[in-house]
Chains A and B, each alone.
Chain A
């Protein structure tokens, strides 16, 4: 039965736990995707994803409905991830300030390398688990704030408007931050794939 998020939220407020279970099932994979992208440790990512849902349940009365439920849920997830990273002593935002004052560093990137290797529909490529792990590791190499916005955009498919609301930054910053995040990903992935290709080849069906 397809029920919209807001209806389920209202049902949860009346004490319907089953409605909350439906919300968990609807978003658990994506929430975990965000957490595993932000944090290296999978167990930790799973715990964070569970904690996010528990917090959402606990503070459901604080949800005003002015943003969508998933925007609120992801904001909570990202905030928990940031807390975890802070406890570990991450300095993601310091890197960010430095990164965004840099000129567009495209000279080092092997432009076109990814597109050429993976074709127009890279999702159809035979992406091995081992390679998926390496890509996830590559994601962890980019600064926290870049990683965060890239994940929210790519995994959650948030619009620039939603990103601005979720991250509480101007839309122009969203655009600039995503651009820099992508340049970094392009460079790191290009290096990873070259390394991997030299071993086994990438994108072979």
Chain B
């Protein structure tokens, strides 16, 4: 049987479900639904069908490997090569945009490490003997105790370094010339080989 009220409201049921009616139209449709079971059932059907459709299509996405999907798209992109400075700026910008937390934590950590390390290093450095750890120790003076019976033997190397032996005088102490001592600055294997009978010592 023809129902003029239902025919009038039927096209409004879809926008009613979508919330696209004006407040006045919505009120009129709701009054109609209260009096017409068929239209009310129609609205329920529309809603059920919509939900079924959404849910069914969403379930189709469960079978997709989304990481592979994203990687597949990214692999097809060919960005323009930016100048080095621009790329550097972009990298820094990305770091601060996407890794802001870890970046700030790392910077705070680095600042703390510097704040601790510098005073410690200064304190340790203050306790060291003068010249310790220097690249090169230079001989300032060579002297011989006036009471000792030794003779210095000085050899100069071609690069200006001095090799000094301190040798006991043969005419004193013992018939075999006594023990021998020697002191050197920078020395080389070659120089040692030239005087195998001498003992060496560093100044």
Contacts and interface: CB of A to CB of B under 8 A. Distances in A.
A161 B38 CA distance: 29
B50 to A, nearest CB: 5
B41 A127 contact: no
A21 B61 CA distance: 18
A33 B73 contact: no
Find the residue from A46, A129, A132, A189 having the highest chain B CB count within 10 A.
Answer: A132
A36 interface: yes
Interface in B86-125: 86-87, 90, 93-94, 97-98
B20 A160 contact: yes
Contacts of A29: 58, 61, 64, 66
Contacts of B46: 182, 186
A111 B42 contact: yes
A106 B42 contact: yes
Given A15-B79, A127-B52, A33 B60 contact: yes
Interface of A: 1, 11, 14-18, 20-21, 24-25, 28-29, 32-33, 36-37, 42, 46, 49-50, 53-54, 57, 104, 106, 109, 111-118, 120-123, 127, 129, 131-133, 135-136, 139, 150-151, 153-155, 159-160, 175-176, 178-179, 182, 185-186, 189-190
Interface of B: 7, 10-11, 13-15, 17-18, 20, 38, 41-61, 63-64, 66, 69-70, 72-74, 76-77, 79-80, 82, 86-87, 90, 93-94, 97-98
